[in-house]
Amino acid sequence: MTSVQTEKGKTMNDLISPSECAKTKIKTHFAKIIVGGIAEKPYYGILYFDPEEKEYYIGFGAFSLEHVYQWLSEEFEIVGAPAIDAERCGVLKELP
């Protein structure tokens, strides 16, 4: 894998301190990988519930399922019970 070079010849990893890398995961009751697009070129994303905003969001999307699985494990922490059943409440049926 190649590193992106900055204008002064440093990589992005050189510019980020270890304390900045210790980020906080998104704490949620619900996070699920969803798929859209077309059969020949599926696009994956993560549907998750933000307990502070009391809203569902879709984010962390890519054409690579491997990347989305990685983001799900690295960026999210599942805590507690789901606030609501998204499928029963029709949230999943309304998605494109």
Alpha carbon distance 13, 9 (integer Å):
12
How many other CB atoms sit within 10 Å of the CB of residue 64?
11
Q: What is the reported pLDDT for 5?
A: 46
Q: Are 58 and 72 in contact (CB under 8 A)?
A: no
Token output for 80: 């507690």
- Reported as a single tens digit per residue, the pLDDT across 35-91 is 999 999 999 999 999 988 999 999 999 999 999 999 999 999 999 865 555 555 555
- Reported as a single tens digit per residue, the pLDDT across 5-43 is 445 555 555 555 555 556 789 999 999 999 999 999 999
Q: What is the reported pLDDT for 80?
A: 82
Alpha carbon distance 1, 12 (integer Å):
13
Pairing of strands 55-62, 41-50: antiparallel
